[in-house]
Amino acid sequence: MKKRVAIIGAGPCGLAQLRAFQSAVESGACTSEQAPELVCYEKQADWGGMWNYTWRTGLDEHGEPVHGSMYRYLWSNGPKECLEFADYSFDEHFGRPIGSYPPREVLWDYIKGRVEKAGVRDYIRFNTVVRSVSFDEVQEQFTVTVHDHGSDLTSSEVFDYVVVASGHFSTPNVPHFPGFESFAGRVLHAHDFRDALEFKDKDVLIVGSSYSAEDIGSQCYKYGARTITSSYRSAPMGYHWPENWEEKPLLTHVQGNRAFFVDGTSKAVDAVILCTGYKHHFAFLPEELRLKTGNRLWPLNLYKGIFWEANPRLIYLGMQDQWYSFNMFDAQAWYARDVILGCIDLPDKAHMEAENLAWRREEETLETAQQMFEFQGEYIRQLIGATDYPSFDISQVNQTFLKWKKDKYEDIMGYRNNCYRSLITGTLATVHHTPWLDALDDSLETYLASDGFDRLKSAG
């Protein structure tokens, strides 16, 4: 009898899992009869997860919490060469070199191109939200209850494995500061940020010093904010910001339209954007199956960073803090696939826990960014070494990360104009036709067609 696998989410992680099983059949590692029956539930109307942009905030058209945190004019803030699929290069998709920092729509087109080629869309049930997951210890099976918004019907199905691929950048962490209730301007979390033009000629306060704080502040600067103030909890970001951008220590409170900081200074602001991170949130899972962690490189209770130790039939993908992204999701998905297919045996719980704690102890010694991405690179290397996922030069990816960090500190507003070499094909990226600060149109058509390239590999 065929095994049944439920995949929750059709973003990069869920699509990686679908591609992993399709690859096994394609390569002859298993036959279509041996492959499990796959059902992927996606609450949005299209695939791509976070990369599937929506103008909506709050609730979607079905009354479900909006998943997406993407905003207009978003460009990659890391080199595409560090996330390139080992089995589907940018060269293959676009047919020629492109820049190292493409905008969101270009990356979304690339993500879609691989799974369109793989032909896995029919496994996905769109507009279908997972309401609950339970596990029967006697039958050793999960019951997954979902609601299909297309038919307005609720139903349940039984599965042997459940893959949680719903991401962890959709439930905002929203702190409170005294005075927000009566603040004269706008307060929003980065999750609800959609268009930097809204803040043109405004004095903007960014709370946080994360990548989202860095990028949303840069977007506001690019699209005409009058001033930007970023408030940090422990340390400033430390870049050479433009003259109208200043860094302040922790925000203490607001009064009227003034923001007050722990150093005793204050600033009049029109808007407060909270770049304060996200929560791992799995409302559909019962307590005994629910991962509880902050955003860190090695969450506990996941063997190999994937398998729920208390019940390894429950699989989590992409739950780590991420230096690597698409290629890490692939490495995890291929490993999970081979466990499900019986190609890899899992050890007993005691062994899983001991190995997990060893990884955590190493993670706790990490101090520098280089140590962190090398740690994650070694993790990926070990996963890939156990499967048939195409190998790639992780040490060179780490070197690209190093160069990226250096470029950012040299020119935070211009680092996206730099080019790197693909670690998959060796192709050197091209300099984009318009410097990032001047590139106000981020559409796929403008990004590609302005260089005389008007053939899209993905029908979208």
Backbone φ and ψ for 234, nearest 5 degrees, come out as: -115, -40
The answer to whether residue 429 is domain-embedded is no
The per-residue pLDDT for 169 is 87
Query: How high is the mean pLDDT of the chain?
Result: 95
The answer to whether residue 425 is domain-embedded is no
Is the same domain home to 111 and 186?
no
Q: Which long-range contacts (CB under 8 A, 24 or more apart) does 90-93 make?
A: 90/422, 90/425, 90/427, 91/422, 91/424, 91/425, 91/427, 93/457, 93/458
Task: Provide, rounded to the nearest whole percent, the portion of the chain with pLDDT above 70.
Answer: 98
Is the same domain home to 293 and 232?
no
The answer to whether residue 384 is domain-embedded is yes
Rounded-to-integer distance, Cα 56 and Cα 309, Å:
37
Residue range 339-365: mean pLDDT, rounded: 97
Q: What total number of domains does the chain contain?
A: 2
Structure-token pair, residue 127: 């507009």
Is the same domain home to 269 and 338?
no
Residue 3: is its pLDDT beyond 90? yes
Is the same domain home to 78 and 151?
yes
Backbone φ and ψ for 20, nearest 5 degrees, come out as: -60, -45
Q: How many residues does the chain have?
A: 460
* Residue written as token pair 């007993």: 348
The answer to whether residue 175 is domain-embedded is no
Residue range 423-449: mean pLDDT, rounded: 94
Is the same domain home to 282 and 264?
no
The per-residue pLDDT for 449 is 77
The per-residue pLDDT for 448 is 92
The per-residue pLDDT for 458 is 37
Structure-token pair, residue 349: 């719980």
The answer to whether residue 435 is domain-embedded is no
Is the same domain home to 83 and 213?
no
Residue range 120-139: mean pLDDT, rounded: 97
Residue 460: is its pLDDT beyond 80? no
CATH classification of the domain holding 366: 3.50.50.60
Angle, helices 369-385 vs 349-363, to 10°: value is 150
Among 388, 303, 285, residue whose Cα is nearest residue 337? 388
Q: How confident is the model at residue 450 (pLDDT cuts 50, 70, 90)?
A: low
Residue range 57-62: mean pLDDT, rounded: 94
The per-residue pLDDT for 459 is 32
Is the same domain home to 65 and 160?
yes
Is the same domain home to 253 and 145?
no
Helices (H), 52-103: 90-94
The per-residue pLDDT for 269 is 98
Rounded-to-integer distance, Cα 98 and Cα 79, Å:
12
- 432's CB contacts (< 8 A; 6+ apart) are 98, 99, 101, 416, 417, 439, 447
Is the same domain home to 121 and 197?
no
* Residue written as token pair 């020119």: 411
Contact 269, 207 (CB under 8 A): no
The answer to whether residue 188 is domain-embedded is yes
Q: Convert the pLDDT of each residue in 220-232 to its tens digit.
A: 999 999 999 999 9
The answer to whether residue 458 is domain-embedded is no
Q: Convert the pLDDT of each residue in 353-406 to its tens digit.
A: 999 999 999 999 999 999 999 999 999 999 999 999 999 999 999 999 999 999
Rounded-to-integer distance, Cα 380 and Cα 396, Å:
14
CA distances from 286 to 94, 128, 142, 193, 282 (A): 43, 19, 12, 31, 9
Angle, helices 104-118 vs 12-27, to 10°: value is 30
Structural domain containing residue 125: 4-170+278-400
The answer to whether residue 47 is domain-embedded is yes
**156, β-bridge pairs:** 145
Contact 251, 241 (CB under 8 A): no
Is the same domain home to 263 and 156?
no
Angle, helices 326-340 vs 369-385, to 10°: value is 30
Contact 293, 319 (CB under 8 A): yes
Residue range 129-145: mean pLDDT, rounded: 98
Q: Convert the pLDDT of each residue in 264-319 to its tens digit.
A: 999 999 999 999 999 999 999 999 999 999 999 999 999 999 999 999 999 999 99
Q: Which of 274, 298, 326 is the last residue of a domain?
A: 274
Is the same domain home to 143 and 52?
yes
Is the same domain home to 284 and 137?
yes
Structure-token pair, residue 14: 């869920």
The per-residue pLDDT for 250 is 96
Task: Provide, rounded to the nearest whole percent, the portion of the chain with pLDDT above 90.
Answer: 94
